[in-house]
C-alpha cells in the first residue's frame, strides 16, 4: 500500500479530483510530511534550484533587517544591498533559463555576490547588525557562493 502522500500526488498527476485536493490540503495543514506543498501547482511539484531557493530565503531574512537600519544608512547602504539581493535573484532565474551566455551571466552574478559580502561586512563594522546576524548572513552568502561556484565550474566544463 502506498502512503497517502504518494496516492494524493498520483491523483493530482493525472486528474486533480476534489478528494485528492482535500487530502493534499489536509496533509499540508497537519504537517505530516516533509514535502513543501507551498510549491505545489495543480499536480506539479515544482523543483527549484537550491541556489535560487537559498537566495530567496536570504532575501526574506535580510530585507526586514535592512529596512530597520538607521536613516543615515538605510537609504544608501540598505537600499543598495536590497537592490543587489533582488538583482542576484533575478540574475539566477535568468541564468537558469538562458541558452546563450550563461557562463558570462553567472560570472557577473559572482561579482554581485562578492559585493554583497563586503556590504555585509560594512554593516558589522558600522555596528548596524549583531555578530550573530553577521555570522548567519555570512554563512548564507558562503552557501550561495559555493553553489554558484559549482554552477560556473560545470558551465566551464560543458562549454
Give per-residue pLDDT as tens, 32-48. 555 445 544 444 445 78
Mean pLDDT check: name the lowest of 37-46, 53-62, 89-98, 139-148: 37-46
Strand segments, DSSP code E, in the chain are: 40-41, 44-45
pLDDT of residue 154: 95
Domains of the chain (ranges, CATH numbers) = 4-45 (no CATH), 50-158 (1.20.1440.60)
Q: pTM score, two decimals?
A: 0.71
Which tens digit of pLDDT belongs to each residue from 141-151? 999 999 999 99
158: confidence class by pLDDT, cuts 50, 70, 90: confident
Q: How many CB atoms lie within 10 A of CB 113?
A: 21
First to last CA, the chain: 46
Amino acid at each position: 500500500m502506498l502512503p497517502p502522500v504518494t496516492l494524493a500526488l498520483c491523483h493530482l498527476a493525472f486528474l486533480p479530483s476534489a478528494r485528492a485536493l482535500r487530502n493534499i490540503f489536509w496533509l499540508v495543514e497537519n504537517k505530516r510530511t516533509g514535502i513543501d506543498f507551498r510549491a505545489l501547482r495543480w499536480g506539479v511539484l515544482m523543483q527549484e534550484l537550491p541556489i535560487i531557493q537559498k537566495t530567496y530565503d536570504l532575501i526574506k531574512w535580510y530585507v526586514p533587517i535592512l529596512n530597520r537600519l538607521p536613516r543615515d544608512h538605510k537609504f544608501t547602504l540598505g537600499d543598495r544591498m536590497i537592490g543587489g539581493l533582488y538583482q542576484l535573484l533575478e540574475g539566477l532565474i535568468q541564468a537558469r533559463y538562458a541558452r546563450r551566455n550563461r557562463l558570462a551571466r553567472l560570472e557577473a552574478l559572482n561579482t554581485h555576490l562578492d559585493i554583497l559580502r563586503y556590504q555585509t561586512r560594512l554593516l558589522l563594522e558600522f555596528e548596524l547588525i549583531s555578530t550573530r546576524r553577521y555570522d548567519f548572513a555570512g554563512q548564507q552568502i558562503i552557501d550561495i557562493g559555493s553553489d554558484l561556484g559549482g554552477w560556473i565550474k560545470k558551465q566551464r566544463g560543458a562549454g
